Structure 1
């Protein structure tokens, strides 16, 4: 509101200036109007640069253009006084009742959507709202909202205190149907929401679920204590600064917090918090928290936290944490955690964890962990320090100890491999296929008269555990080792590695043996086999222990490559069972 006489303010002037201080513009007006301004430089920001283009305008019109209503003008003879224009407020109060029974409604939201001012009714349905008076008197539109009730609009005259009451009607009954419950998840329902938001703030969000506004920026100390007051939860900002914590509708820019950020809807571009970020919609961009990130929808970009990251619907990009990463939807990219990653839908990319990775559906990529990996369907690679497990393996399992799968269509490499059924390859000391290839062999060789071996795997590739002995006095010898083989229709080919004990553990020799065998069925679960063998034997020094073999292989001598490496040709003949 301005007060002025029809003297100096009505004089006509012409001013055209570009990026000049306000004081210079006022000096030019003084010269043309033949009067003097009286003002405090700091009060009118006299050093601020402005651009003015006014041709044959009144002094008041030019001043209005300069100050946009922030300064009041007072004409005093040959002086025109400029003073800061104090804001004026007025109050609107009243009661909100149920239109169907007349009962007072508590926790109903009453708000003005332009000034972003709101309040809630008390137990008696009473509200009191302080509104800013506009320069030009215009009606103010107030909206009454409450969950399960229709929104009601009240038109209020501006400029004076008044009482206005309203009755609001219940909303029409909702038709039940199948819905995606995650679509209607609210940040206020989470543990963080219940701890860091008051009951009135959570109720306000429910009441105003259909009202959202956009603003360029906001600052807050705590949720509800900031530039947008109690309506901060309904405002989407471009720049958001929360000194301790903030509760807003969403973000299209940058948000920084000393402790936590809580956003009801989508967040885009960048979000940083010392403790945690909580987003009720989608996150696109960079999200970094000292402790924890929780996105109730999906993530596209980078999510990094000092402890854990969780996204309800999945992510495309990167998840990094020291402890835990979790996603309930499809993931594409890298998930890296110091302890564990747990993804409940298809994963395309890389999962890396210090302890373990779990995927309850399909992993098409790489799982790498210090202890364990688990997947329903493996179409990539599992690498673990201890154990890998998958229901169906169409890729590669590599473990320091054991690999387990129900259906093997790929490759297993480990000390122990287990598959319920196999159409792939298991490479390890012990490879067990429950519905596969199992045989117990009893046979004789040119070196040892008595040998036992157990075959396990499938016909494509099986493993052998081998032991042999000669108990003859003066020609004792013992062997133990491991091998792999492949079975054809009537013959097999095997490669084995065995250690040969000849009375001294310090001089144990090593045999590498290539052998093939023709086999013939002689009864139910029984076959006879016979075939040639070629053996390479390495020993740095002969044992020559009394009572043990001194000549290898025994019936005849071996050929020498040098003093440490010998070779010979031999045989194996025996029976296989099962």
Structure 2
């Protein structure tokens, strides 16, 4: 019977907290437009200390939603108007209005308005208003938009989401999303409308960022095309495809890389790209390791001072690392590139490593 009563109390408490939070989050977010942290301007009562098992089973009882606490200890899940100090939760902290100080929970922190200070959670931090300070979560950080953008650091195991502006840093294990970024995005995938700073990852999709197409020819893969994308010319990602349709046999490659570009004058550019192609020795996919790694410093000349079309030329350092061989009796390694200006050619075990210098020329659009 005690177990049934305890479970019933948890369900009722969670329902009360969720209903109140959902009903007031929108009004709290709207009031934050005129006051950065509105909790002090509301008719809330202040308590120096409170302890709760699961709201409303705590010292503030049914008045928890109208109370701002200085020190709040929630053994399982707690609910309050706000915190100006420290809030610790075994599972969940829910605050209707705003938080100033430190907020930490085993699972999550939910705030209906802005937050200032640090939010730490095992799974997720969700703040309807802006965050000034830091959000650190094992899974997800979310902060809403606000008219006044404060410095924010978001660190998450999976994703950071900011539908408005963020000034600061987003670091995630998988994904960063923001409308406008002033600072740094660092994750495998970054999505933004515009970035003033850097967006570094495997794939950075910035609507008003750096977008270029490029075609070139070289002694290795004779026909190549690439798409470059990123927040700016300072750092961009490259997706490329290349082919050797002529010669001793057909080869093609799928590549990925990154690079940077500077423009000393209106028409002169200098870019440095690092690319890695998996080279396929026939029309299908070659399962063995067959990587063509390239360092490409490229000198460019814009056809017009304000245009994008640029003539490109530059040397290439090629390093081929391969475990491919045509038959059981043949040596390891691809014959791509022939023996042009070969620097070394060594085989250790089943891996052949070969390096040579080359030349490439092309166009950037």
The TM-score, its normalising length taken from structure 1, stands at 0.48
Contact 1:481–1:498 under 8 Å retained in 2:
yes
Q: Which residue of 1 aligns with 2:262?
A: 488
Is 1:528 the equivalent of 2:311? yes
Going from structure 1 to structure 2, the CA distance change for 1:557 and 1:483 (only over 3 Å counts) comes to same
Deviation at 1:492, TM superposition (A): 1.0
Give the counterpart of 1:317 among 77, 81, 86: 86
> Structure 1 residues 471, 362: closer, same or farther in 2, change over 3 A?
same
1:200 is aligned to none
Specify the alignment match of 2:151 in structure 1.
379
The answer for the alignment partner of 2:358 in structure 1 is 570
Q: 1:272 to 1:520 in 2, by over 3 A?
A: closer
Within a 5 Å distance, the mapping from 1:55-70 to structure 2 comes to none
State the partner residue of 2:114.
345
Note if contact 2:92-2:107 (Cα within 8 Å) is conserved in structure 1: yes
SS of the residue 2:114 aligns to: coil
Q: CA RMSD in A?
A: 3.2
Which structure shows the bigger proportion of residues in strand conformation?
2
Aligned pairs (5 A) from 1:353-368: 353-368=122-137
1:470 corresponds, among 241, 244, 258, to 244
Q: Does 1:537 pair with 2:320?
A: yes
Higher relative contact order structure (alpha carbons within 8 Å, sequence separation ≥ 6)? 2
Q: Is the 2:119–2:125 Cα contact (8 Å) retained in structure 1?
A: no
Supply the distance in 1 between the matched residues of 2:194 and 2:178 (Cα, whole angstroms): 8
1:294 partner SS:
helix
Corresponding residue number in structure 2 for 1:507:
288
Contact conserved, 1:329 with 1:344, CA < 8 A, in 2? yes
Residue 410 of structure 1 aligns to a residue whose secondary structure is strand
Deviation track 1:76-123 (CA, whole Å, cap 9, x = no partner) reads xxxxxxxxxxxxxxxxxxxxxxxxxxxxxxxxxxxxxxxxxxxxxxxx
2: CA distance between counterparts of 1:336 and 1:531?
55
Listed one character per residue, the Cα deviations across residues 461-515 of structure 1 (whole Å, up to 9, x for unaligned) are 1111111112226322222222121111121112223322224633132233221
Q: Which runs of 5+ in 2 are unaligned?
A: 1-38, 264-268
The residue aligned with 1:388 is 160
Give yes or no for contact 1:459–1:487 (8 Å, CA) kept in 2: yes
Choose the corresponding residue for 1:516, options 297, 314, 323: 297
| Structure 1 position 337, deviation (Å) | 4.2
How many pairs does the alignment contain?
A: 306
Conserved 8 A contact 1:356-1:369: no
Matches within 5 A, 1:131-530: 183-184=42-43, 267-269=47-49, 271=51, 276-277=57-58, 279=60, 294-306=64-76, 308-342=77-111, 344-376=113-145, 377=149, 379-390=151-162, 391-457=164-230, 458-472=232-246, 474-489=248-263, 490-503=269-282, 505-522=286-303, 524-530=307-313
